[in-house]
Amino acid sequence: MTYKIALIGPWTCDIVFSRALPRAAVNLALSRLHKDPRLKGGYWYDVKLLTESCSSSHGLADLAGLKGYGHAYLGPFNPALCSAASLYATHWEAGLLSPGCLSTDRRTQVSLPPIPPPSHILFTVLRFFRWAHVAVVSVPSDLWEATAEEVATSLRSLGLPVGPVITMEMTEEGPRATLRTIREADRVKVVIMCMSSVLVGGDEQRKLLLTALDMNMVSDGYVFLPYDTLLYALPYQDTAFSGLANQTLLLRRAYAAVVTVTMDSEENFYDTYRQAQKSHEIKSRVPAEEVSPLFGSIYNMVYFTAMAIEERRQAKNGQWVSGDDLGQSEGGFEFQGFNQVISGGRNGKGMQARYVVLDSDGGEKLFPTHTLDPSQTYTVLRPLARSIYFPGGKPPSSSYCWFSSETACRGGEHQIVWC
């Protein structure tokens, strides 16, 4: 019996997605999971690749026409579509596994998270350093603006005084106006960037960081956290990033103020990709360095979905696995993901993977400084031997009451700004 999975993504909207080669990632995952002896007695899996509109309004309209494409829907990535996607999936009795839905609101809950919740990872990092007052910046696209709003809402629900939330206009003055607003915000020294990382070719982030350096915000102790790297395993082992190596010394100095949090991996993404090309498992001739590491996450999400479905099928003694059944997944399984070990969390927690914090010393390489282990339910950040270098000094610590569910704090500001 065939179990249909519909993978919905904004494959034409941003460089992180357009370079991810989703069809090749899906085909690789299917070829391997169909050979996995743990899945032999279950369903035959088929994945339909669907394109998510770059416009939220068009994306909402498109959702109504997706009935029947899948017994489980893997996506969307745009948080603005979460509420409607959840309602449709419930009506269709299909599973919804969305990497874009961070909210704990029951109206927008997914059946099973196909990646560890990025907002929880961010919260653990912010709590470790006691950085409560943060700003969120996005570029002017529906995808990243909705992501910025969702990140801010999710962190606020965890008690943090997030603000301002800013859309950076892509004009000559846009980055400077954005950073001026942040500099004027009370006690804000940490900036979450909802846009493509400069390390994977994101030009908007490059302009933002260079402007921050020019405005002396790097030397003044501001710290910048990329959001997109939470969605994939950024390669760092023995990797010199061309985005830093081929740019001026100024960008390397600016990137020293960036603290990068990403999925950890046992092997460099580029090396793993090349090996799959060499063995002809990946037919594409696109060089590894031109492929977005989101390729690996797409592979992992498809494989994880199949493993979760099989876990439920066995728990139900072979009966059909519905969307509601997926939400009751007991996990307990583990598999080799694209270039890291992935596991299924207990009690519907979804995909589990190890995370790592990376730092730059002003050069073209990144180095691990902390790890975040799923066995600790992403609540404990463990320091490694190497410390983070803060070019402008470490931002001041906030009161711990912001991170305690038992103590109330005051003084947060919530505002949305266009610059």
Rounded distance between C-alpha atoms, residue 262 and residue 116, angstroms: 11
Tokens of 332: 């307990």
At residue 247, the pLDDT reads: 63
Which CATH number applies to 2-114+268-338? Answer: 3.40.50.2300
At residue 419, the pLDDT reads: 46
At residue 109, the pLDDT reads: 60
Rounded distance between C-alpha atoms, residue 65 and residue 147, angstroms: 24
At residue 414, the pLDDT reads: 46
Identify the three-state secondary structure at position 402: helix
Assess whether the region 2-114+268-338 and the region 118-266+354-418 belong to the same CATH fold: yes
Report the Cα 202 to chain-centroid distance in Å.
15
Residues of the chain with pLDDT below 50 are 106-107, 412-416, 419
Q: What is the pTM of this model?
A: 0.95
Task: Residue count of the chain, please give it.
Answer: 419
Residue 155 parent element (H or E): helix 142-157
Tokens of 236: 């760092």
Per the prediction, the chain carries an average pLDDT of 92
- DSSP state, residue 31: H
- Beta-ladder partners of 344: 351
- Domain boundary assignment for the chain: 2-114+268-338, 118-266+354-418
Rounded distance between C-alpha atoms, residue 211 and residue 177, angstroms: 10
* Angle (CA) 44 50 56, round 5°: 140
Tokens of 71: 């017994």
User: Top-level CATH class of 118-266+354-418?
Assistant: alpha beta
C-alpha dist (Å) from residue 124 to 73, 158, 224, 297, 388: 29, 11, 16, 21, 16
Q: Which residues of 378-399 are buried (b: 16+ CB within 10 A; e: fewer)?
A: beebeeeeeebebbbeebeebe
At residue 413, the pLDDT reads: 45
Rounded distance between C-alpha atoms, residue 352 and residue 257, angstroms: 28
